[in-house]
Copies of this chain bind each other. A is one copy, B any other.
């Protein structure tokens, strides 16, 4: 019998982390335990651990063992060229405007600057977002980031949610681990496979989590036809669509959203951190009228209300036109970088990508096996349990600054032209 090498072992542990077998923050088995499992000596496991530590996936706590790091903490040498993070390069954000607005708020009326917000959110911000995104103000709530939106869904729909929730395949890894996802519907080029979807709806499904405008990780959009068909199904089978409307700011299309097509069956979530800067921890959600009180109670019992000062600041940021200006800047940078990246990929024969992708990343297919070494991108299997996903990877290209991005492109060219066996 051939003993497993340290890279193989690291690969297996990496997969278990990606698929949520070992969750963020969880303690992983000890070197001794892995040595028994893989029938190798402890030194080999030790080398695998070192590799995973280098990649930033795990960390040691003295006297306690090794732990899976939280996604936001994962920074290692392979992440110098970070094609992983789908947050923006912070240097794109106009911090000076935020600072100015903070000062305006404090100068205006000091005691109001840190006043608490109502549970549903600052009325000014709700109004501004309602106008900016054409959403009903009276069904909107401000949340402490899109993650809280998913958490509130879990609270409102109860604990058997992993049985009740249908996911796209592939989908956002955070939702997989949070909801312990079990049910998936495969995506075609224009949206989910409707026949498959209908079959799934026969069972206990009450919620369908989707990113129909700019899908993560594929960057694709649902066709209007499929959206309409799914809206009809939502009414017929009485389930709710959780519409995660990320990156719609960078689409020129005026395709109606689910919240427009079937508002009574749509729970709409939008991250404000993802289009500005991850640290602001704000998002919005719009829920059907008959669920509004339940969601508001869930929000209130979670954290009373989101941070008021940042809400009032964001309200001014939108009303003074800074959000639009910022998004214009991001959009032009995004188009430049997407073009540059596509050119690099075009020159590599075994790589292809689908046209019409949007958002901060590119979803690429490889006809050759992909390296399992520390890679600077997100591997396909992080987004899906199906074997086909392994020939895909996602290159997110908006997190690095210009200099790093250019150097990253050179690195990619080299790294990808010599596919690892």
- Residue numbers of A with Cβ under 8 A of B are 23-27, 67, 70, 72-73, 90-91, 93, 95-96, 98-99, 102-103, 106, 110-111, 113-119, 144-145, 147-148, 151, 159, 178, 277-281, 293, 296-297, 300-310
Contact = CB atoms under 8 A, between A and B. Distances in A.
A162 B262 CA distance: 37
A394 to B, nearest CB: 20
B90 A148 contact: no
A277 to B, nearest CB: 5
Contact of A24 (B98, B110, B300, B307): B300
Given A70-B118, A102-B99, A151-B303, A297 B145 contact: no
A309 to B, nearest CB: 7
A90 B111 contact: yes
Contact of A110 (B73, B96, B304): B96
A116 B25 contact: no
Given A25-B296, A281-B307, A148 B70 contact: no
So how many copies of this chain end up in the complex? 2
Contacts of A111: 90-91, 93, 95
A300 B90 contact: no
A73 B118 CA distance: 7
A147 to B, nearest CB: 5
Contact of A116 (B23, B72, B96, B310): B72
Dominant SS among interface residues on chain A:
helix
A67 B308 contact: no
A70 B26 contact: no
B279 A306 contact: no
A63 to B, nearest CB: 10
Contact of A27 (B23, B24, B102, B293): B293
Contact of A178 (B26, B278, B301, B309): B301
A206 B72 CA distance: 33
Nearest to A110: B95
Contact of A279 (B27, B116, B147): B116
A198 to B, nearest CB: 31
A98 B306 CA distance: 19
Nearest to A67: B293
Nearest to A61: B138
A304 B145 contact: yes
A113 B303 CA distance: 23
Given A24-B297, A25-B296, A96-B106, 14 more contacts: A23-B297, A24-B119, A70-B118, A72-B119, A72-B305, A90-B111, A99-B103, A103-B103, A116-B279, A147-B303, A148-B303, A151-B303, A178-B301, A279-B307
